[in-house]
């Protein structure tokens, strides 16, 4: 079942979010998105087992289970190879809301990870990029959303069954 707009709004209503796969490269998209979400008032927490210490002046954690105080959601920007383990880690940490990022290519989305989330009652946003849904975002992200609307791939405005 494709992601719908209410699921996206619910995720973006969270305030404390882990960004799993925060790159050590300050020019990487994950770092750009991390900074943007911080600037918009989100309490972002970087997660990268290969990073040492801090990223963006915030303590970086190796796993979501290590984060204290806990986060409300996880934005996953890892390669698809690691996604299933990340969502299992999220379940173990009590995280009930996950966004599997997809820009170009498969991104973090895998059928196994999506199925795991659904089986464990974790709300999941499948693919897409949060930049497209942030208010007053840059033109390139608005254009990406517009192209998805033209192709019929933009999330729909329907309510989930209660």
d(CA 93, CA 14): 16
Q: What is the pTM of this model?
A: 0.85
Is the backbone peptide bond immediately before 31 cis, with ω within 30 degrees of 0? no
Pairing of strands 16-20, 54-55: unpaired
Walk along the chain (162 residues) and give the pLDDT tens digit of each residue: 556 767 888 999 999 999 999 999 999 989 999 999 999 999 999 999 998 889 999 999 999 999 999 999 999 999 899 999 999 999 999 999 999 998 666 789 999 999 999 999 999 998 888 877 667 666 455 555 555 555 656 566 665 555
Which domains, ranges and CATH numbers included, belong to the chain? 5-151 (3.40.50.720)
C-alpha dihedral (99, 70, 47, 36), degrees to nearest 10: 60
- Check: CB of residue 11 under 8 Å from CB of residue 73: yes
């Amino acid at each position: 079942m494709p992601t719908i707009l209410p699921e996206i709004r619910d995720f973006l209503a969270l305030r404390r979010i882990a960004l799993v796969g925060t790159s050590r490269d300050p020019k990487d998209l994950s770092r750009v998105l991390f900074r943007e979400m911080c600037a918009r008032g989100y309490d972002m927490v970087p997660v990268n087992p290969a990073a040492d210490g801090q990223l963006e002046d915030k303590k970086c954690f190796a796993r979501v289970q290590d984060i204290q105080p806990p986060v409300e959601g996880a934005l996953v920007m890892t390669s698809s190879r690691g996604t299933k383990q990340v969502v299992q880690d999220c379940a173990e940490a009590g995280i009930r809301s996950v966004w599997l990022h997809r820009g170009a290519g498969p991104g973090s989305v895998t059928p196994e990870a999506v199925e795991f989330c659904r089986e464990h009652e974790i709300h999941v946003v499948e693919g897409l990029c949060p930049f497209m849904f942030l208010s007053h975002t840059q033109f390139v992200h608005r254009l990406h959303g517009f192209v998805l609307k033209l192709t019929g791939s933009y999330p729909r405005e329907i309510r989930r069954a209660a």
